Structure 1
Amino acid sequence: MTFGINNISTLQFASFNRLNVQSTSLALQRAGQELATGRKADIFADLGSNAVSTIKMRAREADTQTFMKSNDLIGNKLEAMVLSVDTARDNVQAVLERAITNASRPHIDAGSLQRDALAALDTFVAVMNTSHNGDHLFSGLDSDAAPLMRWSQTNAATGLSPQDAITSIYGAGPVDAATAATIAGQIDLAFASNDAVDPNRNFEATMYQGTPALDGGGQPSEQVKAWVNSGQQVTYGVRANDTAFVEAYKGLSMLAVTDVSTLDEDAYVTYMDSVINALSNAQEGMRAISAQIGFNQQIVESAQNQLTDLSLIQRTQIGNYENVDPYEAATRVQGLEIQLQASYEVTSRLSGLSILNFLR
């Protein structure tokens, strides 16, 4: 009978042990990284074909986070817009109340209407020119420019200020009800941007610098829009050339251009009637605009809540794919440490072996 003996030299054993130490060290390093980070060190190697799922999930979560950041910005803009509109409405309301008090004839305080209108007009323009992160909120798509010109500010394109434009229409002022109606009608045309006599006096020529009401083809201009969720878009643009704001500027301008207390009685009643109609229309319109902005705020908030819930689900699923059990990782680290320590001890013993120990 023949016996086969497989001999392994000390050199071979040492080499094998060295490779074992190296692989164990790498495994320990990887396990230590997973224990420290809570995530798999090599996701693609560990997940295999399931890695595609986590890639898709991370892409969806990135889109979700983009929507959420955008919605935060839109929400802040809408909040600033509604505050601005409410401030403008309160400002106009104070002048309207004073005008209604003096509707049929000028009272003792009628002479202060011009001063009040000028102050209100300055505040109104400042509020409408509010900007957020460099974008003017009421300029439409042309948000790099402030939408409204101040009463005495000259527009470089026309060479006129709003004061110049209205003063040229008002002239010496009305002397009776008929001329008061004529002047009021001409002012209406200018604020409707239909002044054919001098187009430079039009609201959108001299007083307004944002996106025009109509585009080059005569169609309504695009409003500011934003995607708040996948497949969900909201139109939230409010412009300073919306009817309510135009009416506010018109009513205040009609008071700012003259001291109405000096008008003929019949002219006064007719002229003040136009002023009160304009300011009343402005109040109603701005109230409706505030309500619309509030509705858009609800849409954005609802979308944001949906995205928050979706993000939680997606991050949980990503964690299920990529995270490691900390207890399992700690146990693995401990086992590898023991294994590595044993390998070091064997290596140490082998290094102490020598044939000279047996030849003494």
Structure 2
Amino acid sequence: MSVSSISTMALARQTRNLVRTMQSDMHTLELEIGTGKKSDVAGSVGSRAALLLDLRNARQTTAEYRQSIQTQSSRLTLMQEALDKVRGSATQVRDLALSVSGSGVGAAAATIDEAALNAIQTLSSMFNSSQSGRYLFAGTRFDTRPMQPPTETAPSGIAPLDAVKSVLSSLGPTSTAADVDAALNGPNGLSSIFSDTYGGGPAAPENFSKTFFLGSTTQVQGRAGEDLPVTYACTAGDEPVRTLLKGLYLLAAVPSESVSTEAYQRIADQGWRLITQATDELIDTQGIIGLQEELLKRADERHEVEDGLLSKQITQMEMADPYETGLRLNTLETQLEATFAMTSRISKLSLIDFL
């Protein structure tokens, strides 16, 4: 036995489910019109879903590079500012040394050792600059404070200024210009400290890498793009910094009244020459850092363009067509109205009207 008719209750349920489906579809289309995006992106792009995923990943990578560029640019700016202050402080001592080198006496000679020590303290502060817990001039040992303050005892057991004074005093009296040259450049002289050759090798506690500088001379490298390395082109252990400290420590460790006028003239002259050489070399270093800053700027501009292109492609794939969506919405609205009208007419039918 077959039943070819549907009960009134079943028909009502079927109509109700149909209405719910149409209302849900209308709500989805209204959201598409409101947001401008397809509700089912994966379903709508079909076989191009892999391409859409690649585009999104590429845009995420671009955003990460741009964030990294901002951080790196900030670090390089801080390095430039620190080097400006280093050169400014050193220049003041250099000018004092130049004025003293002609006479070896006078008010400048009486204060130059204190001025040199103050400059070293400024250098220590600047070369210990950090950002977000990373020391900028420590090379790859960026978690270690690189520059030891002049009067603070280092892990080697001696303070930098004491190491210089100890080495100079061990070389005997300094009375003539020749004595000064020997103390500076002779065996186990001051220069040997800053070349890590004092006492036969770098293991001696007086040496630069044991007492003065605790970082690494290996420069940190970052990235501004897949094939765009960025180098932090300065550490507190580089040669210009060693030369600068050599000149400043020479002036800070030997008061003018402790040696003859001839000897102090030579000390002031050598200090002036070393500081002048170092500040000129630091200008070159800042020029290299400036090139890295320009590289970052150009890379960020390129990434900005790439981000715009990727965003446009993604939007085109995810964007809902407002005309098509509106047409579908109107069609559903018409169907829903027809369903409501038919339901209303059926509900008004009565057998009595046909008897």
* Alignment deviations for residues 197-222 of structure 1 (CA, whole Å, 9 cap, x no partner): 571001110011111x4xxxxxxx4x
Structure 1 portions without partners, runs of 5+: 1-5, 214-220
Q: 1:92 aligns with which of 90, 93, 98?
A: 90
Partner of 1:209: 214
Equivalence map 1:112-191=2 (5 Å): 112-155=111-154, 157-171=155-169, 174-185=174-185, 186-191=189-194
| Cα shift readout 1:39-84 (whole Å, capped 9, x = no counterpart) | 1111111111122211111111111111111111111111111111
Residue 102 of structure 2 corresponds to which residue in structure 1? 104
Cα distance in 1, alignment partners of residues 344 and 184 from structure 2: 106
Equivalent position to 1:314, from 310, 314, 321: 310
Partner amino acid for 2:269?
D
Within a 5 Å distance, the mapping from 1:6-155 to structure 2 comes to: 10=8, 13-106=11-104, 107-155=106-154
Distance 1:328 1:359 in 2: 46
Answer yes or no: is the 8 Å Cα contact 2:197–2:207 preserved in 1.
yes
RMSD (CA atoms): 2.2
- Within the candidate set 237, 241, 247, 1:241 is matched to 237
Shift of 1:195: 0.7
Q: 1:339 to 1:281 in 2, by over 3 A?
A: same
| 8 A Cα contact 1:165 1:201, kept in partner | yes
The aligned amino acid for 2:208 is: F
User: Which segment is superposed worse, 170-179 or 57-66?
Assistant: 170-179
In 2, the alpha carbon distance for the partners of 1:327 and 1:194 equals 80
How many angstroms apart in 1 are the aligned matches of 2:159 and 2:115?
A: 20
Q: Which secondary structure does the structure 1 equivalent of 2:223 belong to?
A: strand
Take 1:134 and 1:333, find their aligned partners in 2: how far apart are those partners?
57
For the residues of structure 1 that align with 2:22 and 2:123, how far apart are their CA atoms?
74
Contact 2:133 2:143 survives alignment (8 Å): yes
The residue correspondences of 1:273-352 to structure 2 (distance < 5 A) are 273-326=269-322, 328-352=324-348
Write the distance in 1 (CA, Å) between the matches of 2:344 and 2:165. Answer: 104
Deviations 1:156-197 (A, max 9, x none): x21111011111012175122232122212111101111125
More displaced 10-residue stretch of structure 1: 170-179 or 44-53: 170-179
Amino acid at match of 1:199: A
In structure 2, distance between residues paired with 1:262 and 1:273: 17
Matched residue SS, 2:240: helix
Quote the offset at 1:328 in angstroms.
Answer: 4.4
Contact 1:169 1:187 in 2 (8 A): yes
- Overall identity of the aligned pairs, in %: 25
Once the two structures are overlaid, the 10-residue window that deviates more, 10-19 or 20-29, is 10-19
1:350 & 1:88 partners in 2: Cα distance?
93
Could you tell me how far 1:241 is from its partner in structure 2? 0.5
SS in 2 for 1:146: coil
- Contact map agreement 1:154 1:162 (CA 8 A) in 2: yes
Q: CA, structure 1 residues 159+262, in 2 after alignment: closer, same or farther (shift >3 Å)?
A: closer
Task: Measure the CA separation in 1 of the matches of 2:78 and 2:310.
Answer: 32
Shift of 1:13: 4.5
1:128 and 1:141 mapped to 2: Cα distance?
A: 14
Cα distance in 1, alignment partners of residues 329 and 89 from structure 2: 70
- Structure 2 residues without counterparts, runs of 5 or longer: none
